[in-house]
Amino acid sequence: MFVVKLVLKNALRHKLRTILTILGIAIAVAAFGFIRTIVTAWSAGVEASAENRMITRHAVSFIFTLPYSYRDQIAGIQGVEEVSYANWFGGNYKDASDWKNFFPRVAVDPDTYFSLYPEYIVPADQLEAFKRERNSCIVGAKLAREQGFKLGDVIPIEGDIFPGKWEFTVRGIYEGKDKTADETQMFFHWNYLNERIKELQPGREGQIGWYVLKVSNATDMTRVARAVDGLYENSRARTKTETEKEFQQSFVSMSSSIITSLKAASYLIIGIILLVLANTIVMAARERMREYAVLKTIGFKKSHIIGLIGGESMMIAIIGGAIGLALTFPAAGALAAAFPTFFPIVNVEPMTIVFASAIALLAGIVAALFPASRAVRMKIADGLRSLG
């Protein structure tokens, strides 16, 4: 109890220094948590991937399309339970230079797509209304909130990959089954896209961006992938079939250098936390060497001295870490608000909290090691001579 009391009193001895150290740790922990949150937000699609879904795309690149005629052939492969398809539409909504106006627009098969993505929950009446109307669309709840979209609204899009002026009527708003589901997308009829492209750019019709396969047995995926790709090995449009997770991972990999840099920055921050705290604790311990010598003279043991130095270090680290963690949440919220569709899923993951807490605690321990060791090894006679 005495050690705890003295730790508290010692920590408040140089209030400004302690406060600045706590702030330094808090900012560093918040930065660490924020960067980790960005990295996890970047990989959110990978984490949200279903275990029983596969994607078939063009073997060369995602930007090349596949013939619509593949659909029935793929559906016929043993182990494939259901097939759907989609096209990346692109286009611009309002001012394209504003990030807030970016959101994924995807042309899908209205009859099968939502069956393959049960994590997107659409009210039955809205799904029926969507299926009935060829130029209708379904938007995610988060996107609807961000852009103020309501049922019946018309969303005008200026096409780029598929030129022309496009208008889609909102007939449904889907909710995510859980927080990992992306609620920032807009889905509309592939048939509507196909028909208009046939008129506007004859020859581009009948093309699919990617097929989505639901397989009956997740352990069968390697065989299914080989079977699908084997079918088109000698065709003009060869395919690459992979799990949805691998497919999503390939997008993340495109940004691997950014993610690596972010991770490196987070490790650098760990070093900064340690230096900030170690500097304070070393200074504090050096100033108090004579006091430690007095305590040892009176009969206090090494464990008491370690408790005093380690306790102060841990206390500062814990308070700084807790404030830093608390700051991580509004920082992540600000990120989500600033880039709602670029980072559709921003959550401070439990592992981020665990890591950030562990780093703060570890910094508390490591920062105390050297001064505690010095104080414990110090001869009392030398300590009494030292200037306090």
Binding region for another protein (CB under 8 A): 2, 6, 9-10, 12-13, 290-291, 294-301, 379-381, 384
CB of 386 to another protein, least distance (A): 11
Smaller CB separation from another protein, 10 or 184: 10
Smaller CB separation from another protein, 9 or 177: 9
CB of 293 to another protein, least distance (A): 8
CB of 295 to another protein, least distance (A): 7
CB of 298 to another protein, least distance (A): 5
Smaller CB separation from another protein, 222 or 297: 297
CB of 388 to another protein, least distance (A): 8
Smaller CB separation from another protein, 152 or 299: 299
Smaller CB separation from another protein, 238 or 374: 374
Smaller CB separation from another protein, 265 or 380: 380
CB of 18 to another protein, least distance (A): 13
Write a three-state SS string for the chain: CHHHHHHHHHHCCCHHHHHHHHHHHHHHHHHHHHHHHHHHHHCHHHHCCCCCEEEEEECCCCCCCEECCHHHHHHCCCCEEEEEEEEECCCECCCCCCHHHCCCEEEECCCCHHHHCCCEECCHHHHHHHHHCCCEEEEEHHHHHHHCCCCCCEEEEEECCCCEEEEEEEEEEEEECCCCCCCCCEEEEHHHHHHHHHHHCCCCCCEECEEEEEECCHHHHHHHHHHHHHHCCCCCCCEEEEEHHHHHHHHHHHCHHHHHHHHHHHHHHHHHHHHHHHHHHHHHHHHCHHHHHHHHHHCCCHHHHHHHHHHHHHHHHHHHHHHHHHHHHHHHHHHHHHCCCCCCCCCCCHHHHHHHHHHHHHHHHHHHHHHHHHHHHCCHHHHHHCCC
